């Protein structure tokens, strides 16, 4: 029996992933390997939608792959690859661009956010990026796409494009479903617990590859509120609630259990303990990342095998698409 397919990607831009990436998406990537045929990629084509230093990009692509392996992506079971190694992504991306309305693309809120924050000139690639992402997913006929809440709109675009292609040219693409785990779909910034943790706001971001002492310090100075009660109340206690969600996700203990445990204790205790919990989680991950990076030739071999597996599926889909559009 063939298993349902799963596809997801992550940008190598920052080098280190952050806790929002891990809890919102990457943890699900790892878990879904048990039930799905998985395709996971480091999306370097997406990375050049903003200016990149070529040396840094190449290094960060390896660092990203090393982190995925260290977090539990198993290259024996899953295809782990680099997006630019599979040319079908760019090729299907073009077909999908020709299917997308200009107004439709203009409605993507991530573009509005990113272009408003951009420090240099904005390229068309930043605008069409969700369309390439649609191609990433549709190439593999993915049933499920594990992502954080911020990707929901892009998944809707992907489904719309798949449906449009199917109705214009005949059934070709499976309509993918987002796989969004509600509890951890949006991890908030530690310094501004009303906005999502993101690599573009370094102060409140916990990075997987930074010194855990630095992470513990960031957690200790997380913005909370002037109250003293440790309860889960995202509306009025965004900071404390965010810490409870992270704590719960990293330990597997429920938020209710934690709230009961911390009854009568202060925010300082919660933050100090969470710093330790995070350190315990991340220390072995960092050790494994260092091991993978110590042997770049082996790492490149793993990625080459991954792209071979990915191409088998991607080239089949692209051939059908090309045939249908009249190439």
> What is the set of active-site residues?
114, 196, 199
Asked if residues 33 and 74 have their Cβ atoms less than 8 Å apart, the reply is yes
21 is an interface residue for ligand ADP by CB under 6 A: yes
In the complex, minimum distance from the CB of residue 293 to ligand ADP, in angstroms, rounded to a whole number:
20
186 is an interface residue for ligand ADP by CB under 6 A: yes
10 is an interface residue for ligand ADP by CB under 6 A: yes
Asked if residues 16 and 210 have their Cβ atoms less than 8 Å apart, the reply is yes
Residues 72-91 interacting with Na ion (rule: CB under 5 A): none
DSSP 4-19: PEEEEEE--TTSS-BH
248 is an interface residue for ligand ADP by CB under 6 A: no
E strands present in the chain: 5-10, 37-42, 79-82, 144-146, 177-179
151 assigned to a ligand binding site: no
149 assigned to a ligand binding site: yes
What are all long-range contacts of 27-30, with beta carbons under 8 Å and residues at least 24 apart?
A: 27/71, 27/184, 27/249, 28/146, 28/179, 28/181, 29/68, 29/71, 29/73, 29/146, 30/71, 30/72, 30/73
Pick the closer one to ligand ADP by CB: 61 or 151: 151
Residues 142-161 interacting with ligand ADP (rule: CB under 6 A): 147-148, 150-151
Asked if residues 176 and 317 have their Cβ atoms less than 8 Å apart, the reply is no
Pick the closer one to ligand ADP by CB: 183 or 276: 183
303 is an interface residue for ligand ADP by CB under 6 A: no
Residues 149-168 interacting with Na ion (rule: CB under 5 A): 150
Residues that bind ligand ADP (CB under 6 A): 10-11, 20-21, 24-25, 147-148, 150-151, 185-187, 196-199
* Binding residue numbers: 11-13, 20-21, 136, 148-150, 187, 196-200
């Amino acid at each position: 029996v063939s298993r349902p397919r799963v596809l997801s990607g992550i940008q190598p831009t920052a080098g280190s992933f952050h806790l929002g990436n891990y809890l919102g998406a990457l943890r699900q990537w790892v878990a879904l390997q048990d039930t799905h045929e998985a395709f996971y990629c480091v999306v370097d084509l997406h990375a050049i939608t903003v200016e990149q230093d070529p040396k840094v990009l190449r290094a960060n692509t390896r660092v990203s792959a090393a982190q995925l392996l260290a977090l539990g992506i198993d290259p024996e079971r899953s295809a782990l690859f680099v997006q630019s190694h599979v040319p079908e992504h760019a090729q299907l991306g073009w077909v999908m661009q020709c299917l997308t309305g200009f107004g439709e693309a203009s409605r993507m809120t991530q573009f509005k956010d990113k272009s408003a924050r951009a420090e240099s000139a904005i390229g068309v690639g930043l605008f069409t990026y969700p369309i390439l992402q649609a191609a990433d997913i549709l190439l593999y006929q993915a049933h499920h796409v594990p992502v954080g809440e911020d990707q929901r709109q892009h998944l809707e675009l992907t489904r719309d494009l798949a449906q449009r292609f199917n109705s214009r040219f005949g059934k070709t693409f499976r309509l993918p479903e987002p796989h969004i785990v509600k509890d951890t779909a949006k991890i908030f910034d530690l310094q501004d617990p009303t906005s999502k943790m993101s690599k573009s706001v370094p102060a409140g971001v916990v990075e997987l590859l930074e010194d855990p002492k630095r992470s513990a310090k960031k957690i200790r100075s997380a913005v909370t509120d002037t109250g003293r009660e440790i309860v889960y109340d995202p509306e009025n206690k965004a900071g404390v609630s965010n810490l409870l969600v992270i704590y719960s996700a990293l330990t597997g203990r429920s938020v209710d259990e934690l709230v009961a445990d911390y009854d009568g204790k202060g925010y300082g205790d919660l933050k100090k303990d969470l710093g330790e919990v995070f350190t315990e989680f991340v220390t072995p991950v960092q050790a494994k990342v260092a091991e993978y990076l110590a042997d770049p030739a082996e790492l490149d071999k793993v990625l080459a095998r991954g792209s071979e597996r990915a191409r088998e599926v991607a080239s089949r889909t692209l051939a059908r698409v090309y045939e249908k559009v009249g190439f």
